[in-house]
Amino acid sequence: MTVFHFLHNNPVCYVTWDIERALGLPLDTPGYFIIANATPFAKKVANGHANVLLLAAEQLLTTAQLLEHPAAQEFIAKHNAQVLVYINNAKKEQLAQQFGFELLNPQRVLSDEFDQKISQTKWLAELQDLLPAHTLNELSEVVWDGEPFVLHYNMGFAGNGTFFITQESELQELQRVFPRREVRVSEYIEGFTLTNNNVVTDADVLIGALSYQINGQAPFYNHRGTTIGNDWGVVGSLLTSEQHEQYKAIVRQVGAKLQASGWRGLFGIDCLVEASTGKLFLIEINARQPASATYESALQLAHDATGMTVFGAHVAALLGLELAQDLVRITAGAQIVVRQEKNKTVDRAASIARLAELPVRIIEHYTADEGSEIIRVQSQQSIMQAHNEFSDLGKNIIDAIQIT
């Protein structure tokens, strides 16, 4: 029996437009079900598993549209399953009430307060000293004083609401488009970003492995503030043991505050390591299932098939169950994504053919929105060898991406 045997008596159905978000548990886990779009990757993954329902449509269905689908409702009712989604919102809560299924995710009002940049800054209150020096302003009131700074919109995904302002014209362009928008203006600190996935339970805060956050650069996505990947293996050469303990202390402080506020399940934090001093600053809280949690869980299972993953702990915490074991520790692995952007056309077929020659797993995506994923590349090896410096495998991945 696997460590996830608790699902046998507590069936859970993960509903998601992108099946990769649900792959944090083995597909043969009794009591675990998935509903997703019938993409080529999803069909390959499901491979006849009766606990996976794939729905085909002319266009990819959103998670809300999947939840509304009669076949999905029948599937959920048949297995008497509670529902888990990637990110909760008002529409999904309304559908849960309308169709009578139980939504496991923390309430939307909690995730909004903790996840959004402005409200989370206010919520942190007595932990303000963890953040870089900052102010909250209406965008029209922000003044260029000749020094670079970082500007955060209240909402953004994978860092696409973060802007590094290095000249007055960049600020003026944003002010022209969104003059009344509330923003967080933070001191610019030269350094690199670390991130990790953690789980709040009724009794504890479980700390996942630290990863180096790979931020936007060509050919993946040429926007400095946007996350394009993670590398768990390179962290050991970037941090001292004292910095590692400082990071975990920040996690514990944030996790304890989340726990006291009623949060349960996964959350992530991003910390900036200042190059000149080595000091760590908290720069973001992700009060939701971070995008890297499923691959971290896959790496954990590859290391110890009987151990507890961050995703498994997430599900158990949401079910209110006690966890009797620690998370599996990992010290290797990486993933990186190619994102859609203006004036860039990726030759998918040629890129995938060349990537297939490398020791990586390839996930192709089929949306065309600005910033959305085109190709996700996952490896059990590191693809970075230092800050902003790719390893040989990382360089081979870059060479494989064909831009036309």
Q: How many C-beta neighbours within 10 Å does residue 47 have?
A: 9
Query: In this structure, what is the dihedral angle of CA atoms 373, 332, 26, 308, given to the nearest 10 degrees?
Result: -120
What secondary structure does DSSP assign to 303-351, as a single string? H-TTSBPHHHHHHHHHTT----SPBPP----EEEEEE--TT--B-HHHH
- Compute the Cα dihedral for 208, 116, 171, 373 and give only its sign: positive
Q: Per-residue pLDDT for the chain (404 aa), expressed as one digit of tens each?
A: 467 888 989 999 999 999 999 999 999 999 999 999 999 999 999 998 999 999 999 999 999 999 999 999 999 999 999 999 999 999 999 999 999 999 999 999 888 888 888 888 888 888 989 999 999 999 999 999 999 999 988 876 544 678 889 999 999 999 998 899 999 999 999 999 999 999 999 999 999 999 999 998 889 998 877 899 999 999 999 999 999 999 999 999 999 999 999 999 999 999 999 999 999 999 989 999 999 999 999 999 999 988 999 999 999 999 999 887 789 999 999 999 999 888 889 999 999 999 999 999 999 987 777 878 999 999 999 999 999 999 999 999 999 999 98
Taking the whole predicted model, whether its pTM rises above 0.85 is answered as: yes
Distances (CA, A) of 253 to 207, 249, 290: 12, 6, 19
Fold annotation for 191-400: D-amino Acid Aminotransferase; Chain A, domain 1 (3.30.470)
- Angle (CA) 114-378-60 rounded to 5° is 65
- On the question of a common fold for 5-105 and 191-400, the answer reads no
Query: Which residue, 40, 4, 5, 50, is CA-closest to 19?
Result: 40
User: Quick one: tokens of 372?
Assistant: 């959305």
User: Quick one: tokens of 104?
Assistant: 């496991």
Q: Could you read off the pLDDT of 226-243 as tens digits, one per residue?
A: 899 999 999 999 999 999
Q: Specify burial of residue 123 (Cβ count, 10 A radius: 0-12, 13-18, 19+).
A: middle
Return the CATH number of the domain spanning residue range 5-105.
3.40.50
Fold annotation for 133-187: Dna Ligase; domain 1 (3.30.1490)
Domain boundaries, the chain: 5-105, 133-187, 191-400
